[in-house]
Amino acid sequence: MREGNEPWGGRPRTKLRNLVRLGVDLDLAIKQAVSRKGYWRLSQTPAMRNAMPDKWLEQQGLLSLKQLWCDLAPLRGTA
């Protein structure tokens, strides 16, 4: 088991605690925490969109790939 390498420990209890800390409703957080789906798949769920909206991710210092694409798209084909 790769528990030490998982972002939130990989344990449902840890996932649940972190989701509730981020403001996700308890019922939704439980469904998310016990899911066997991978992190990439779960990132598209309503629980994660509530817990980590784009504005929150921006405040954490992450870049928006969508915004970067929109900024660079007009430059395509000018080479």
pTM of the model: 0.67
Q: How much is the average pLDDT of 73-79? A: 71
Q: How much is the average pLDDT of 50-77? A: 87
3-state SS track over 5-61: HCCCCCCHHHHHHHHHHCCCCHHHHHHHHCCCCCHHHHCCCHHHHHHCCHHHHHHCC
Q: What is the pLDDT of residues 3-34, one digit of tens each?
A: 555 667 678 999 899 999 999 999 999 999 99
